[in-house]
Structure 1
Amino acid sequence: MPNRSLDYVLSDRERGASLSWFMRRHIINGIAQGLDYLHNHAPEGLIIIHRDMKLSNILLDSENNPKISDFGIARKFCLNGTEPYVTHPVGTPGYMAPEYIHGDLTPKYDVFSFGVLVLEIISGRRAWNIWSNRRYNELLDPYLRVEFQEELTRQIQIALLCVQKNPGDRPDMHEVTMWLSNNGLGLSEPQEPAYLNVPLGYNDDFVTARPDLEAGIIELQ
């Protein structure tokens, strides 16, 4: 793909600075629509769970349209069939939903991963303490030269709802796409998320490339 992956863009100071808030919002919306298709609109009534949603698996074309890639560990099942049970969980630490350790696998697994992705796209930091203290501007990547706006707060709130510990407290991807496309739809207040208890998805290279965020990451851990 012309612009490689989202991980490639965000893990570098200059490349990350080139990705505006407008473009990041476009990417978030595109990822949500892709997951909604896999979960709710795939051919033959199938439900497809990707199981490895992460920055490096989001490819970007020449116009930064996101493409979900690497379906090597994806699972599929019929709408009216039995949900799959996993005896040997695989995936990427930091993006795996907490219930997965017990072998439970539903589309809410991908919802959790999506929430982690959104928080990383916006900030690259753990978000709960900043959210609970209403310090929303601190979540914004320092390379995004925009003033605080209500839209950003809403995106953060949606992401935190996606990373709730209980799968039943998370929205499905159809709800997420509706929330992202209609700011008039109300949102519930997120509880303290499971995201607090898992490592960030970024690898060590990210912290090296982004030393300005390192203190923030340590502070919020």
Structure 2
Amino acid sequence: MEVNTTTTTTTLPAGPPTKYHSFTHHRLHSERHSHSHGHFPSKTILIIISLVTLVTLLFVIFLVLFLMRRQKSSTKNGTCKEDSRELHDTSSRLITSSTLNSSPEMKSGCLHGGNLSRTPAAAFRGVQVFTYRELENATGGFSERNVIGSIGGLGLMFRGVLSDGTLAAIKSLRSEGKQGERAFRIEVDLLSRLHSPYLVELLGYCADQHHRLLIFEYMPNGTLHHHLHSPNDQTQPLDWWARMRIALDCARALEFLHEHAVSPVIHRDFKSNNVLLDQNFRAKVSDFGLAKMGSEKRNGQVSTRVLGTTGYLAPEYATGKLTTKSDVYSYGVVLLELLTGRVPVDIKRAPGEHVLVSWALPRLTNREKVIEMVDPALRGQYSKKDLIQIAAIAAMCIQPEADYRPLMTDVVQSLIPLVRNPSSLSSISLRFQKQTPSPSH
């Protein structure tokens, strides 16, 4: 040990040994300290980075899974899946005969068996389930004084006040017969999923034992048919601007059904009796009891039996072939009603004028004859330029060949420029609000 110390000492520079020893010890200590800090912090940083990356990755995965689950749940709640494209195929429907034996609950817009309780209302106005007793109270025991219309041979429409004070139109369907049952199921299923300001809103339904009732928003000015075809002493005639606004509202309703629904919906019974008017004479389409899912292919045909109203049926539909263009034809007939004030079929008129379409079609391209066709109730108060355009749109819609008819989207775009007089529309609303609501709905 002494030899090693001596050898080491001879290589050291001159100076006090104690001082140099202190310096050397401090330097060696610093190097060891520096060396340890050169490796230990690097490993710590790597570990920290790895942990942060792992936590971040796990958080991102959790967030993605949460969003996917939420979207899946939202989709499931928004749409009732159907195994069949055809709404009348009861074997594959969500609504079964056994389900409707008792008052069902509404879950996600579909019918499911349940008790007689009403499901809680959502933040937005959703479809509710009512008991028969609730609707009996709402209509004063279904009193005759509250009858506001009939539904052919299917039942009656009542005015009613719900427990929360909401004024409603309550459609009571006859219990006997399959057509009423089918119409009930289709309207509940369809209107639970379709929401548009141009469709009459379904507030709820009742399937309590054998009772079948539908509850709709109340439309105080009744049907378009009533205002166009009732004697003038019962209603004040609709003026030109009101008719144009109604024509556009109806076109938007059919555009929504054909183009914007998840799958195309064919109304199949579009007519002036199924166009309802609110307090401002804005139109909404109602009565979807005959509606049918259309083909995904544009102009694709669906084979079906013929149901509907004479005078509104498209030629191809009369042979059992149905497309969205069949609704376009029916819309053209309603447009002719707005233009002429005539009903689609009137055997009281002169020979050759019984059927509105066959009488009007050859005249719609003749300016002088179009002017002669205008509803006398308008008393000449209309735009002749707009009249010619409306006649042209109507002529296209009622073409015998479905392929020659326009899409409802095109009809909407053609009508928008014609509904351009807000001041006139405001005066219409103010004037009509003073009139007594019509007795029919």
> Scaled by the length of structure 2, what TM-score is found?
0.39
Kindly state the Cα deviation for residue 133 of structure 1 after the two structures are TM-superposed: 3.8
Which residue is 1:140 aligned to?
374
Kindly state the Cα deviation for residue 147 of structure 1 after the two structures are TM-superposed: 4.8
Deviations 1:80-128 (A, max 9, x none): 5974211x21111110000112221110000000000000111025323
**Higher Cα radius of gyration:** 2
User: What SS is found at the alignment partner of 1:18?
Assistant: coil
Correspondences of 1:64-103 after superposition (within 5 Å)? 64-77=281-294, 79=296, 83-86=301-304, 88-103=305-320
Larger deviation, residues 102-111 vs 147-156: 147-156
Which residue is 1:204 aligned to?
none
Q: CA RMSD in A?
A: 1.9
- Report whether the alignment pairs 1:5 with 2:5: no
- Report whether the alignment pairs 1:149 with 2:380: no
- Report whether the alignment pairs 1:63 with 2:296: no
Kindly state the Cα deviation for residue 18 of structure 1 after the two structures are TM-superposed: 2.8
Kindly state the Cα deviation for residue 74 of structure 1 after the two structures are TM-superposed: 0.3
> Are the equivalent residues in 1 in contact too, given 2:222–2:278 (CA < 8 A)?
yes
User: What SS is found at the alignment partner of 1:13?
Assistant: coil
Partner amino acid, structure 2, of 1:41: H
Deviations 1:53-102 (A, max 9, x none): 1111101111111110110000014635974211x211111100001122
Kindly state the Cα deviation for residue 149 of structure 1 after the two structures are TM-superposed: 1.4
CA–CA distance in structure 1, aligned partners of residues 235 and 391 of structure 2: 19
For structure 1, the residue ranges without an aligned partner over 5 or more in a row are 184-221
Partner amino acid, structure 1, of 2:259: N
> Are the equivalent residues in 1 in contact too, given 2:325–2:407 (CA < 8 A)?
yes
Runs of 4+ in 1 over 3 A off after TM superposition: 80-83
Deviations 1:27-56 (A, max 9, x none): 0010000000000001xx210000001111
Q: How many equivalent residue pairs?
A: 180
> Scaled by the length of structure 1, what TM-score is found?
0.75
**Which protein, 1 or 2, shows the higher relative CO under an 8 Å CA cutoff with sep ≥ 6?**
1
CA–CA distance in structure 2, aligned partners of residues 171 and 31 of structure 1: 15
Deviations 1:124-159 (A, max 9, x none): 253234334432211211111315511011001101
> Are the equivalent residues in 1 in contact too, given 2:240–2:382 (CA < 8 A)?
no
Larger deviation, residues 99-108 vs 164-173: 99-108
Correspondences of 1:106-145 after superposition (within 5 Å)? 106-123=323-340, 124=342, 125=356, 126-135=359-368, 136-145=370-379
**Quick one: percent identity of the two aligned structures?**
37
CA–CA distance in structure 2, aligned partners of residues 31 and 102 of structure 1: 26
Correspondences of 1:184-203 after superposition (within 5 Å)? none
Report the structure, 1 or 2, having the larger strand content. 2
Partner amino acid, structure 1, of 2:363: I
Partner amino acid, structure 1, of 2:401: N
